[in-house]
A and B are shown apart, each in its own frame.
Chain A
Amino acid sequence: MDPIIALYRFFFYLPGFLFLVIYTLLLLDFSAKHVPPPQDVARESPWLALWYPWWVRSLTFRGILTAFVKAVFYSLAAWLTIILVLLAAFSKASRP
């Protein structure tokens, strides 16, 4: 693979990976309250606790949408910052 193409592809996927990381961190929401499963659900199927952990139960649909919107903006902003810093550094270095 050509170095320029490899570099281009790395930067092509970088914002997407940034988005996934930020989106996951926002969804995990470490300050969220622990929500126990309903009694009848826990009695009926103990596996539910595995499939739907407390942080999923504590999430609301609105919370998921908010995390998505925030992650889109944060990841684009982070990526833009990286690109601009790199461009500035290269332009500074290329000056005589």
Chain B
Amino acid sequence: MSHYSISPPVWNWYCVFVDTMGPVISVALSAWTGILTVHWLHQLARSLERRPVPRRFWTAWLNINKMAALAVVVVMVSVGCMFLFYWLLHIASLLRPSPVVAPPDFEEFSDFGRAQAFIGSVSLYTLVAALVISVLGFLGLLFLAHRLPKTTNGCTEWFIQRYFRKSPFVGFLLIAIAALPLWNFLYDLSWLVFIVAPATRQFPTADLPSADARIRVSTYIALLLPILMFSPLVIMWVRTVIFGIRYRLVNPVMRHMFIQSMKWNLIGLLGIAGFKIVTYSADYILRMILRLAFTSASQ
């Protein structure tokens, strides 16, 4: 019996609600990080306008500011468009009556396995391209950040002396926090390598429905989303760590803002991390409970 025969409007809108919550939260988080980045850049620019700075430094800073703002805008627009497209496709497919589908085997999750296999097979090139782009972007930002302070008495050198030679622990802690988005990406990569790749071998792609555009679209979103979502965070953290620490010592207003901004960043990062930790831990626990329940029921 199809679930459309139970109570079509209620059930369909329930599905719409469930499937919309995740994207909405992701878009909200992306927008939040983007707004925070733009805000931080704007405040930094305002404080720099009041300081006599060398012309070369100002020009270089303006360039990196433009680049970061452009990256944020591009990321926000692309994420928004992709989610809009995905959401429209999904709503269209939900509201269209579908043939009767047998419920999947709850123990085996065969449909999930097949979908994941399909995802793993079509997205290898996307994954490699995304990895190259993100690494190049990260290196480029670091390169620019390294070049920039040379005109202002070596901010990078000062940073290393202050936070590595004096206290290596604090230095590594700051770098580790700045690298959190990269860890997130590596986590997703490991998920693909260790979960999806074996599933690909188990379920050959020839058996899978090739015309399922929804899976294809959601594949690209699933792969690009972490990178797109965390790009503003990468920019924000690199800028905060490398530039912010310098100015917080000079200007009391900037010092106050830097500390408050760090609080916002910490709240946001822990929110994202906690959402993932709790979700995946709970999933693991649920699978364990279900396995135990099924085992005891079958005995």
Contact = CB atoms under 8 A, between A and B. Distances in A.
A34 interface: no
A59 B279 contact: no
A16 B275 contact: yes
Contacts of B286: 11, 83
A10 B19 CA distance: 9
A20 B11 CA distance: 26
Given A51-B39, A59-B263, A87-B289, A68 B274 contact: yes
Contacts of A10: 18
Interface residues of A, number: 44
Interface stretch (B103-111, B140-148, B161-169, B217-225): B103-111
Interface in B263-292: 263-264, 266-267, 270-271, 274-279, 281-283, 285-286, 289
A45 B253 contact: yes
Contacts of A4: 103-104, 106
Nearest to B279: A16
A79 B282 contact: yes
B260 A52 contact: yes
Contact of A1 (B19, B260, B276): B19
Contact of A16 (B104, B253, B278): B278
A84 to B, nearest CB: 8
B189 interface: no
Contact of B18 (A9, A57, A83): A9
B69 to A, nearest CB: 18
A68 B268 CA distance: 11
A48 B274 CA distance: 27
Contacts, number: 112
Contacts of A87: 289, 293
Nearest to A19: B278
B83 to A, nearest CB: 16
B21 A13 contact: yes
A41 B289 contact: no
Contacts of B150: none
A96 interface: no
B260 to A, nearest CB: 4
A51 B256 CA distance: 12
A56 B253 contact: no
Interface of A: 1-6, 9-20, 23, 27, 37-38, 40-41, 44-45, 48, 51-52, 56-57, 59, 61, 64-65, 68, 71-72, 75-76, 79-80, 83, 87
9 contacts: A9-B19, A16-B276, A20-B275, A23-B270, A38-B252, A45-B43, A48-B260, A64-B270, A65-B266
Given A52-B264, A76-B281, 5 more contacts: A14-B282, A19-B274, A23-B271, A23-B274, A76-B278
